[in-house]
Structure 1
Amino acid sequence: MTDAYNHALSVADQRGELRLSSPAFDDGDPIPDAHAYDGANVNPPLEISGVPDDAASLVLVVDDPDAVGPAGKIWVHWLVWNADPSTDRVPRDWEPTDAAEGENDFGEVGYGGPKPPDGEHTYRFKLYALDADLELPAGATAGALGDSIADHVLAQTQTTGTYAP
């Protein structure tokens, strides 16, 4: 992976009919405290629609591009891949048993909620529908995930939420 471009950490401009939303917050609105790192640190519920019929798997990436200033990079909060393409909802506090999770920038595998060090940040919840399952070990990084999905994206979308300490 090059530092110049990482597919997993780029903007997921709308491609196809794929949609991602959360009943916990509207696109662009504040993320409830329960989903923050210093709160209950559980993922918000998510709803998925418009998955292409030929999708083999789904990838979910949650990141914070506003962290570039204070942290020097886009901060990774959650990486999930090889989720079943028939998935239409991700429950609150999801423990994926049929998908793999990667390492977030807190040094943990799994979800790490918002924890901005310097004021309000915008968090991107990105969803990718792929034409293949990925051969990545659990605990892989955003760099490995970005390299793996680059040539397999059938559709993509994102929703955002904000959080202030």
Structure 2
Amino acid sequence: MPKPLVLTSPRFKDGDLIPIAFTGEGEDTAPPLHWENPPAGTKSLALIVEDPDAPDPKHPQRIFCHQVLYNIPPGAQGLPEGAQVDVLPPGTRVGLNDFGHQAYGGPMPPIGRHRYFFKLYALDVVLPNLGRPTRRDLLKAMEGHIVGQADLIGLYEKVHHRGSAQGPGASA
């Protein structure tokens, strides 16, 4: 039996707090990501980073998207810390996040502790140029082509909402 697609980060574990450096309160840079075991037949990968708890985890109203990448080459094994458009693997295309930007936009929830899902999709196609697709556009384009998925979940709550800048996850 083949091993499942796995997505990890050397900077935080699944279910842990995202270090402040990767948030709107810090340097707002993308965390490094590593993946392994893309399924046989994978022709490209896509990454969507989203917050399903917006604006308030007690009363979520929408999914807020923080990053959209597609056509990542299947041979790539991850993304470096702070990856911007100019250092993404060759062929990778960038969509629009809900901040209206093509770059990663880090967590900065207005209230409460939010969950941030880093979703890596293995696709059986290289998608056509979608321009600057939103999360929704990319999900629609991927329909029927997803051959594997891995999720990494990070948590974040604004430091001043924790009561102390020294609280968990308050430092990188």
1:29 aligns with 2:16: yes
Matches for 1:69-108 after TM superposition, within 5 Å: 69=56, 72-95=61-84, 96=88, 97-108=90-101
Give the Å deviation of 1:126: 0.5
Mean CA deviation greater in 150-159 or 64-73:
64-73
Matches for 1:6-155 after TM superposition, within 5 Å: 17-67=4-54, 69=56, 72-95=61-84, 96=88, 97-155=90-148
Deviations 1:32-67 (A, max 9, x none): 011002311111001100112310000001000011
CA RMSD of aligned residues (A): 1.7
Larger Rg: 1 or 2?
2
Structure 2 CA distance, aligned partners of 1:137 and 1:146? 11
Structure 2 CA distance, aligned partners of 1:71 and 1:52? 33
- Percentage identity across aligned positions? 38
Alignment check: 8 A CA contact 1:57 1:84 kept: yes
> How many correspondences in the alignment?
151
Q: Pick 1 or 2: higher relative contact order, CA cutoff 8 A, min separation 6.
A: 1
Mean CA deviation greater in 130-139 or 30-39:
130-139
Gaps of 5+ in 2: 159-172
Gaps of 5+ in 1: 1-15
Alignment check: 8 A CA contact 1:136 1:145 kept: no
Q: How does the TM-score come out when normalised to structure 1?
A: 0.86
Q: How does the TM-score come out when normalised to structure 2?
A: 0.82
